[in-house]
Structures are given as structure tokens and as C-alpha cells.
Structure 1
Amino acid sequence: MPRPSEARPSGARPSAQVRRFTPAERWVHRATAALMGVCLVTAGCLYLPPLAELVGRRRLVVTVHEWAGLALPVPVLLGLASRAFRADLRVLNRFGPHDGVWLRSALRRRGPRPAGKFNAGQKLWAAWLTGAVLVMLGTGLLMWFTRLAPLLWRTGATFVHDWLALALGVVLAGHIGKALGDPEARRGMRTGFVGRWWADSAHPLWRPGD
């Protein structure tokens, strides 16, 4: 049986819509996703021999990878001009008692999952991704500008960068998988609006417009 967030109840009115994301918020998400995708694809072309042979032009791939990585924080920085985006960041950065309940229920795969606009899993994902991007940016700069640090530091930076890139790929695959399992959440990111029934069932503590 599908979860409440995956299928609209038969009694729900299709016209009952609430705004979840503004155009600025959706732009930040899409631009960040595109840059992250470029980073991962180019990384695969640099480290996987079959892809490297297929694509060739290693110097060009390296250049695209470097500049895409350097640009990763730019959409978020530009998004700070949006009041709605700043409000979302404040919500993502705050954990309340209901988030602990959500996490325990998620781990046990049963029980209530109270959530505001973002659930505890989404908050952890945002925090982890922010930290990972900053670490990737720092280690990438050490690898790019070889005179910034001694050889030992650059060797450590390469190790951290490579393994964190692999972890990012795995976690992003999980993120995409969760999105594919929730059509209404995807519609919210695509159009900015979700059904009231979805908001009430998946995010019962969220009060749109507050």
C-alpha cells in the first residue's frame, strides 16, 4: 500500500493547493543540482578508465570539473537575496523535539513522523550536504593550487576529496531515489505547489503562509 505522501487520497480535492517553494528557491535547487551533477559526471570521467577512454580530452574535463566545483556555493549565495530562501535556511537549521520523534520513528519504521515544512531527514541531509560541499571545495583548492600547502597536506586533501566524492555519489543516489518515490514532493519542487492533502499528511506541523 502506498504511503500517504505517494498517492492522493480519493477524497482529496485536486484544487486544494498550497505554495511550498518560490521561483527563487526552486532556481537555487536546480542550479545546485546541475553543478553537482557536472562535478560527479566529470569526476567519473577522471577516475573510471572506461569513461576516461570514452570521453578523452582529460584537460578539458579537469577544467570543467574545477570550475563547476568552484561555482557550487554560488546559487546558495545568490539565493540569500530571497527572503523565502533565507526563511527556509532558518527552518533547516533548527531542530526541535518533534525532529527526534521523527528520527526514532524512521529508524524503527513505525510510529508517528511529525514534521514542519522540512522533516528531520531533510534537515540532516541539508546539513551534511553543506559540510560536504565546503570540505570538497577546500580540498579541491589544495589540489588545484599546489603552492597553497606542502605535499603532505595535498596528499591528505586528495584522499579526503576522492572518498568524500564517492560518499556524495552514494548519498545523492539515495536522495534521488527518495524523490522518485514521492511524486507530490517532486511536483512541489517543479511547480512550487503541492496538494493540501500532502502537506497535512507528510508535514502536519507545517503552516503554509506563516
Structure 2
Amino acid sequence: MVTIPPDDTPLRRFTPAERWIHRGTAALLGTTMITAAFLYLPGLGEILGRRALLVTVHEWSGVLALIPVLAGLLSRAFRADLARLNRFGPHDRGWLRATLRRLPRPAGKFNTGQKMYAALAAGAVLVMTGTGLILWFPHLTPLVTRIGATFVHDWGALLLGALVAGHIWIASNDPEARAGLRTGFVSRSWARHHHALWEREDHDG
């Protein structure tokens, strides 16, 4: 006979290593975006001044933002979650349509929206890092390359900023999802409602 755990039974969603990877990446990317705002918006730049310092902090925080993820590859749980984020299954089809219609939509540990966000954010960070390095060391590339890198870097910053803002807004409306990142645990009732396939997989396992 199968025993169904109570709804308030804690379910581990993230390990301590995964939570620190998220915090480290968020802190460094946040620093990069804040310094970018001061560098690109004249009004903010005038308030703080010290442009050279802002440029240095911006450059180093951008490069170092890759470190938490690269170090996280040593974590088996983190590698498993990366595999989940990179894998689209049959249940992912029609997820956006169902979400817009407020219909039930089964999801694994990560829903389709989270998978799409992860893919877009990862791609944007890599593009921003590559173009940022070209601008950091301008003497290594011809002028036409630097012009193109500046264009891509500026628009990539807007895209990444919009993605992160949307990510924060969605998280702000889900206290238990935030608790999962803060403590590592969520309730089974929340998991059954938002990530039923993952909750069932954990229970069957």
C-alpha cells in the first residue's frame, strides 16, 4: 500500500551548494547591472561620480559572475538540475498556452518558463562576457569589431535586465518559492500544485 506524505512535509528543493551558487551569481550580476546603470545613465553617474572605479567594479563583477556556476559543477545536485533545465519533455508542450489560460499545467522540478529563462539568461551572460572582454581590451581587436561589440553589449544589457526584472517580479509573487531558495525546502502541497511531476518523482524514488 502506497503511503502519501502529508502536505506539510518538507521536501528538499535545493542543496546548500545550489543556494550559495544562486546567491553568489545574483550578487555579482546585480553589481554588474547596478554599475552599468550608473555608467550609462548620466543622471545617476553625476550623483556618484568616480567613473573609473565604477568601470573597474563593473568589469570584474561581470567576469567573476561566471565563477559560482563553474565552481558549482563540482556539485552533483547542481549538475542534475542543469540537466533538468536543459531537457524539454512532452509536458513542456503547451505549457505557456495553459499558463495564459490559467489551466492546470504539470511540471517537473522546473517548469517550461524557468527552463526558457535559464537558457536565455545563460546565453545573454555569455554574450555580455564576450563583448565585455572586447571592450575591456580594445587594443586587441579592430575598430569595426569594437563598434559591433558595443552595440551588442548595450542591447544585451537591456535584454538581460528585462529578464532579471521579470524573474524577480515572478519570484516576488511566490513566497514559498523564495523560501525554497532561502532554506532549501518547500512543502509537498506547494510542490504538488506547482511541480507535480517532480513531487511524484521524489515520492516514488
TM over 0.5: same fold? Answer: yes
Cα deviation, residue 13, structure 1: 5.0
Equivalent position of 1:161 in the other structure: 153
- Secondary structure of 2:186 counterpart: strand
Contact 2:92-2:111 at 8 Å conserved across structures: yes
Equivalences for 1:62-73 in 2 at 5 Å?
62-73=55-66
**Runs of 5+ consecutive residues of structure 2 not aligned to the other structure:** 1-5
Selected match of 1:26 from 16, 19, 25: 19
Matched, 1:174 2:159: no
Equivalences for 1:48-67 in 2 at 5 Å?
48-67=41-60
Matched, 1:43 2:36: yes
Equivalent position of 1:98 in the other structure: 91
Name the aligned partner's letter for residue 125 of structure 2. Answer: V
Selected match of 1:123 from 115, 131, 148: 115
Equivalent position of 2:72 in the other structure: 79
Matched, 1:190 2:182: yes
TM-score by length of 2: 0.93
Equivalences for 1:140-159 in 2 at 5 Å?
140-159=132-151
Q: 1:148, 1:92 → 2: CA distance?
A: 36
Contact 1:52-1:58 at 8 Å conserved across structures: yes
CA RMSD of aligned residues (A): 1.2
Q: 2:89, 2:7 → 1: CA distance?
A: 31
**Runs of 5+ consecutive residues of structure 1 not aligned to the other structure:** 1-11
How many residues of Structure 1 are paired with residues of Structure 2 in the alignment?
197
- Secondary structure of 1:205 counterpart: helix
The structure richer in helix per residue is: 2
Cα deviation code 1:50-69 (max 9, x no counterpart):
11011110000000000000
Contact 1:114-1:203 at 8 Å conserved across structures: yes
Q: 1:125, 1:49 → 2: CA distance?
A: 30
Name the aligned partner's letter for residue 24 of structure 1. Answer: A
Selected match of 2:129 from 130, 133, 137: 137
Q: 2:7, 2:190 → 1: CA distance?
A: 11
- Secondary structure of 2:93 counterpart: helix
Q: 1:148, 1:113 → 2: CA distance?
A: 50
Q: 1:95, 1:104 → 2: CA distance?
A: 16
